[in-house]
Amino acid sequence: MKSVCLPVLAAYMGVGVQSFATRPAIKTNYASSCSFALHASSDNGMTREPLTGMRETIAVKPSKTFLGVDMNRYNIGFEKSIEQWSADVHVPSSFMDEGIYLGARDKKSFFADIVTVDISRSPNPNGGLGLELLEIAGGRSDGIGITVIENIAQGGNAEASIIGGGSNTILPGDSIVALQLLSDDDSKLPLGEAVVVECLDYDGTVAGIQQIPSDWKNIRLTLKRLRRKPKVVVKLQYPPDQGEEDITLELFAGENLRRAMLTRGVKLNDKFSRRFDSGGTGDCGAEGTCATCVVSVTRGEDLLNKQSIQEQQILVKNPRWRLACRAVVGYGNQEGELTLKVNPRQW
């Protein structure tokens, strides 16, 4: 994947909050002045007229929260979010369509997560979504920009829909990337295509919102929310006769353990290991067959991904050992502390 910042937007983002736009920031308490470009069709329910700068699809990949981690603990707040939003041009790849996507400027420390929120107009049938929008980058002739939610209007439909919090939250600093009609019944099934408004300026975002009929009851918003990456503190201990000091590293969740250690200059090469495939020696280069990268986990094993069948077979006599090249820290976006013994055959 190649990612480059749009020159104009990057210039806005590079000089701080006060200098985002070459024109005054545009705000609105978005009301119900909706047009009716969305209309029923004979086959799939709904169609829409295209908007300039809109994509037909959206890459929706929420963070994995299967271990019950509350991702909101990694939120960074409004001010930090508007400092960090960036519009990135992506070339086509096997996992992402060509297009312009919202992301973090500092991709090492932050990431754009996906959040979906269902809003009902039941509290105010004639009202709008009840969101105040703020353009933080724009002024381009092609309509590309960055527009975020600045506030959730008191008494509006959005506020009423997110009462109770939980996962159904909207936060200042979030950016709307798509809107989807939901059926009026309890099933709330998605109808038709989503209207994608990612990386549009204020006018383009509002035009996209206006494609939702003003009397439509249930609407699903897909938002991008900037979060800091969870961190794992890794304490490395060496065999006593090596005379090496313990080392403490701070890794981001999702980092491969072996690669993270090597790039930080940490020694990791068990000379007594034998290759699982040939019985010889030598580094397999992270193919999971040589075990030169083996470490013993003495604390925090739940912070690592589960072992594959092959890794279990290789390490069957040492269930606390892991192949560092097969281990990913911060499994399920967890934070915590991990203690590892390097070169465990030499302890």
Would you tell me which residues interact with ligand FES (CB under 6 A)?
258, 283-284, 286-293, 323, 325
How near is the Cβ of 234 to ligand FES at its closest, in Å?
A: 17
Determine the length of the chain: 347
**Helix (H) / strand (E) containing 13:** helix 7-14
Cβ-count burial 32-44 (b if 16+ within 10 Å, e if not): bebeebbeeeeee
The answer to whether 101 and 90 have CB atoms below 8 angstroms apart is yes
CB closer to ligand FES out of 25 and 327:
327
CB closer to ligand FES out of 92 and 282:
282
The answer to whether 140 and 21 have CB atoms below 8 angstroms apart is no
The answer to whether 53 and 197 have CB atoms below 8 angstroms apart is no
Report the alpha-carbon distance of residue 5 to residue 130 in Å, rounded: 31
CB closer to ligand FES out of 117 and 315:
315
Report the alpha-carbon distance of residue 68 to residue 50 in Å, rounded: 39
CB closer to ligand FES out of 149 and 325:
325
Residue 179 CA, chain-centre distance (Å), reads 18
Number of H helices, E strands in the chain: 6, 17
Strand partners, 89: 4, 100
How near is the Cβ of 331 to ligand FES at its closest, in Å?
A: 18
CB closer to ligand FES out of 133 and 294:
294
Q: Which residue is nearest to ligand FES (CB)?
A: 325
How near is the Cβ of 277 to ligand FES at its closest, in Å?
A: 10
CB closer to ligand FES out of 207 and 315:
315
3-class secondary-structure state, position 302: helix
Closest CA to 334 of 69, 66, 108, 61: 69
How near is the Cβ of 256 to ligand FES at its closest, in Å?
A: 10
CB closer to ligand FES out of 51 and 284:
284
CB closer to ligand FES out of 202 and 276:
276
Enter the tokens of residue 314. 């290789």
How near is the Cβ of 308 to ligand FES at its closest, in Å?
A: 12
Going by C-beta distance under 8 Å and a sequence separation of 6 or more, which residues neighbour residue 214?
A: 32, 33, 34, 36, 126, 128
The answer to whether 158 and 119 have CB atoms below 8 angstroms apart is yes
How near is the Cβ of 295 to ligand FES at its closest, in Å?
A: 10
- Cα radius of gyration (the chain): 25
How near is the Cβ of 328 to ligand FES at its closest, in Å?
A: 13
How near is the Cβ of 316 to ligand FES at its closest, in Å?
A: 15
